[in-house]
Structure 1
Amino acid sequence: MELDFQQFIPSLPFLLKGITVTLKIVFVAGILGFVLGIVLSILKISKFPVLSWIADAYTSIFRGTPLVLQLMIIYYGTPQITGVQIEPAAAAILSFGLNSAAYISEIIRAGILAVDKGQKEAALALGVNNRQAMFDLILPQALKNIFPALINEAVSLTKESAIVTVIGVTDIMRRAYIMGGDKFSYFEPLLLAGVIYYVMVMVLTLLAKVLERRMRRSD
């Protein structure tokens, strides 16, 4: 059987609109995961065992269960408990953000622990409190050191976002499936979707390299 991409040319604008949907979910979920990841990483190195245990338990749960399961629990299971139906896009952002936070917290925690303890001790000796030392001195250095790892997480989040098709979000994958259903031919639109994801990841990687070079020059 020969491939016929020409029949899908009129539907390309429909497919490309999925990029906006995908990027919106990835961007908002990434911000949510990053902010929550910082909070979890600080809790993990807290002097209070209860806070550390809670953060570790959170990470264990979200890293130990499939992302698609978490997505379906939030979208299909939450209404059963709360009586409120969550919008598909909101469920996707929430599940991806909560899942990403578990991984980002470990990355940030490792970055914080890699910073020389002497710097914090020197800051405290100069009268700087713990909060200021963490957010003005330790955390900026940690983020600069773990920047490549954070980009890898962003790349993974971009690719994993394709699973939102299981709850009906009209992202790139869902639109490719719809195109295939209209023509009873799925290989071509799915291949086109794969190309789009690949280009998105490559662009993100190139931008990350540019930012990383600038960060190194500013040292």
Structure 2
Amino acid sequence: MSTNSPSTTAPVSESVAALVRRARALSALGGRRILGITGAPGAGKSTLCAALIAALGDSAVLVGMDGFHLANNELNRLGRRERKGAPDTFDVGGYVHLLARLSAQTEGTIYAPVFDRSLEESIGGAVGISASVPLVITEGNYLLHGTHGWDAVAENLDEIWYLDEPADVLEERLVLRRRAHGDSIEAATAWVRDVDLANAHLVEQCRDRADLIVHVTQTSDLPNPAASPTTDERVAR
């Protein structure tokens, strides 16, 4: 499992094809392996995961952190609805428990939730993970975060990759994403400045704990993450 200790590896640039090869090698080690993909909002996590799943086929399945958003009613009760997507707005214990079950799985099917952006709520039992699948890929902002219980995530992961992108690239992608959902340029810019980039700063502080810090190259043939988000539109991937 990942040690969650500071990385001694310098950031590298890799193509999607090279990362597919690395993920395939991990899946071939035998037994169940879990790969974590993390990085700041807008770093391209969902896009890379989609490419990995497409390339690996039946050898991999995606389980997103976003399925563990607290329900809106609970966020209202806690007074956190306007910060949905912050580290303390998830069922972290439930996520950690699922990862532990998936790590130890040897038979049957385990079910995971997904987040439905159209409903802005999680749906339980939406993804079935068979014991025969060698690689589980999980992605999210806070896989390396150290508070609110997130520190327990890494011990259930075999590798954690941190996607590294400069701040100006993140900001441009995030504003475009907000605009794609109908925000005015003023509203999009304000949200990215006040919410997304604040979360990005939290995530970036943990980057040195990753097993691989990577800038993904040759992404022009991949889908635009701004056009096809997989989670709450307010939580940039």
Q: Tell me, yes or no, whether TM beats 0.5.
A: no
For CA contacts below 8 A with separation 6 or more, give which structure has more relative contact order.
2
| Bigger helix fraction | 1
Larger Rg computed on CA atoms? 1
TM-score normalised per structure 1:
0.26
| Bigger strand fraction | 2
